[in-house]
Chain A
Amino acid sequence: MCTVCGCGDPKSPAQPHDHDHDHDHGHDHSHGHEYGHGHGRGQKLDYGKGIAGAHVPGLSQARIVQIERNILAENDRYAALNRQTFKERGILALNLVSSPGAGKTTLLVRSIADLTIRCSVAVVEGDQQTSLDADRIRAAGVPAIQVNTGKGCHLDAHMVHHAMETLALPDKGVLFIENVGNLVCPAAFDLGEATKVAILSVTEGEDKPLKYPDMFRAARLMILNKIDLLPHVPFDVARCLDYAKRVNPEIGIIQLSAVTGEGLAAWYDWIDANRTLARIVG
């Protein structure tokens, strides 16, 4: 049971689900009605006709309500809570996003092996199903929690909030949040991270930054992975980097291979610099 929102299922709070149970309401009212209404011509229950004569006592008539609410306000509320926790504990939280198969988990396993010498590390693993990735991470020797999104295509801040309740958080260290492999949906959801890191591999199309601009705009760093395979694939690095800069002139770019280790030093330097920032300014 969630202590913040009262939800019972931390795994898929934002997913649609069929109901075979009633929800309790936090307020007292009757759902019955004692007034008449027409059911004419195969329409749905039509409470829209004759409003003045048929409104429920205590409720006002048809009216306009002005509200200015960001659709993602609830997600952003949890993101702010998460961010506050990261700030208080000096944690650098990175939201890793990519297509499936870009090498997120391989990069993570390698990074963990190298980073645990200098700081504590923990991982939130998002996948639609299975705990295979979290198992891989735990085998690498750091705490990991698997969040299965079910039919969901992205992690949201609420899921991460719950994950943080049970995960041993890496004080003054790095929390990697490996999002669901998807270059579209995770772009919209702030999890409270310091930044999104978009990972693209050279076995994909070099035009992905243009095809999925939201993600490359949402990220502050792009990692071009699997550069050891460049001799074998028709991937134009210069063009890819140009496309990434078109959608996000400020994006940083690191080219590396999680398998051979080439370029990893730059990635770790970037992490160290941002850990320092997380400690100083949160």
Chain B
Amino acid sequence: MHEMALCESVVRILEEQAHEQGFAKVTVVRMAIGQLSQVELESFRFCFGAVAQGTLAAGAQLDIETPDGKAWCLDCRRDIRLARLGEACPDCGGYALQITGGEEMRITELEVE
């Protein structure tokens, strides 16, 4: 349930931004949460609804993009897609992989009033 803590971080960031940029309500939160990040999206959405209650983000819509997991295969020397940690390179079947993408947990844009 670290999704709860992550949602609290999101709301704190929104509150900071509201103070800095002068808005009172957030209607849409756009985020990028990579396939290899440590976030369970369903749980995250559920927690966000609960955490946002009574804040400037109450009822806000979560618009979440989920960038693909990517890795560099040291044996094939090329980029591959990696849906999950622990999976093998689809070409050579090896595990000598360096993760290169899909780990992000970012807020990218807000719609505010």
Chain A residues packing against B (C-beta within 8 Å): 14-16, 27, 44, 47-48, 51, 55-56, 58-75, 152-154, 156, 184-185, 187-189, 209-210, 213-214, 217, 243, 245-247, 249
**Additional A-B contacts beyond A55-B113, A217-B85 (12; CB < 8 A):** A47-B113, A63-B113, A65-B109, A65-B111, A71-B13, A153-B1, A153-B2, A185-B5, A213-B86, A214-B85, A217-B99, A249-B97
Given the known inter-chain contacts A153-B2, A246-B86, please indicate yes or no for A71 contacting B9, CB distance below 8 A. yes
Q: Which of B38, B95, B97 contacts A188 (CB 8 A)?
A: B38
Q: Please tell me the size bucket of the interface on B.
A: 35 or more
> Do A187 and B38 touch across chains, with their CB atoms under 8 A apart?
yes
Given the known inter-chain contacts A47-B113, A64-B110, A70-B105, please indicate yes or no for A243 contacting B86, CB distance below 8 A. yes
Could you say which residues of chain A place their CB within 8 Å of the CB of B8?
14, 16
> Do B111 and A154 touch across chains, with their CB atoms under 8 A apart?
no
> Do B106 and A71 touch across chains, with their CB atoms under 8 A apart?
yes
> Do B5 and A156 touch across chains, with their CB atoms under 8 A apart?
yes
Q: Does B19 contact A (CB under 8 A)?
A: yes
Given the known inter-chain contacts A214-B85, A245-B95, A247-B86, please indicate yes or no for A69 contacting B106, CB distance below 8 A. yes
Chain A: minimal CB distance from B12 (Å): 6
Chain B: minimal CB distance from A189 (Å): 7
Chain B residues packing against A (C-beta within 8 Å): 1-2, 4-6, 8-10, 12-13, 17, 19, 21-25, 27, 31, 38, 50-51, 58-59, 74, 84-86, 88, 95-97, 99, 104-113
Could you say which residues of chain B place their CB within 8 Å of the CB of A55?
113
> Do B6 and A69 touch across chains, with their CB atoms under 8 A apart?
no
> Do A68 and B6 touch across chains, with their CB atoms under 8 A apart?
no
A-B pairs, 10 with minimum CB distance: A213-B85, A185-B2, A246-B95, A188-B38, A71-B105, A65-B110, A247-B86, A62-B113, A213-B86, A214-B38
Given the known inter-chain contacts A71-B106, A213-B84, please indicate yes or no for A16 contacting B13, CB distance below 8 A. no
Per the bound structure, the CA–CA distance linking A210 and B111 in Å amounts to: 39
Could you say which residues of chain B place their CB within 8 Å of the CB of A65?
17, 21, 23, 109-112
> Do B9 and A68 touch across chains, with their CB atoms under 8 A apart?
no
Q: Which of B5, B84, B95, B96 contacts A154 (CB 8 A)?
A: B5
Chain A: minimal CB distance from B112 (Å): 5
> Do A185 and B109 touch across chains, with their CB atoms under 8 A apart?
no
Could you say which residues of chain A place their CB within 8 Å of the CB of B59?
44
> Do B2 and A68 touch across chains, with their CB atoms under 8 A apart?
no
